[in-house]
Amino acid sequence: MGYYDLKKLENPNDKTALEKKHVPFIEAPDEVKKGEFFEVKVSFGKEIVHPMEEGHFIQNFDLYAEYYQLARVDFTHEVKAEATLTIKLEESSKLRVFAYCNLHGQWEGSKDITVVE
């Protein structure tokens, strides 16, 4: 399984067990004020918690606003795979998270945020 094999949720009404564990779950307001800080919580996953064991864990995730990288978070297997970041946006954007599981490869999750003046 290579880096180019990016996986995301195929059908929200029929999630596979792998999707439930790996698709990054993004909690953030639907609407924020331009340039004002707000919190974004990323976890894995919503329905089934991804294991954090020596041989199987979420190694990292990158947070993007569209194609602009905002942050990278690295994990060891001794840490719960979740993080809350405080960010600000200048314009409405799709927040995108790319996460890497050492066994199951790279996964994308996203959430649209509307920015108001």
What residues make contact with Fe ion under the rule CB under 5 A?
101, 103-104
Q: By Cβ distance, which residue is nearest to Fe ion?
A: 101
Q: How far is the CB of 51 from Fe ion (least distance, A)?
A: 7
Q: How far is the CB of 42 from Fe ion (least distance, A)?
A: 15
DSSP string, 50-111: PP-BTTB-EEEEEEEETTEEEEEEE--TTS-SEEEEEE--SS-EEEEEEEEETTTEEEEEEE
Between 77 and 104, CB nearer to Fe ion: 104
Q: How far is the CB of 54 from Fe ion (least distance, A)?
A: 13
Alpha-carbon Rg for the chain in angstroms: 14
Between 83 and 87, CB nearer to Fe ion: 83
- Check: CB of residue 43 under 8 Å from CB of residue 96: no
Between 66 and 103, CB nearer to Fe ion: 103
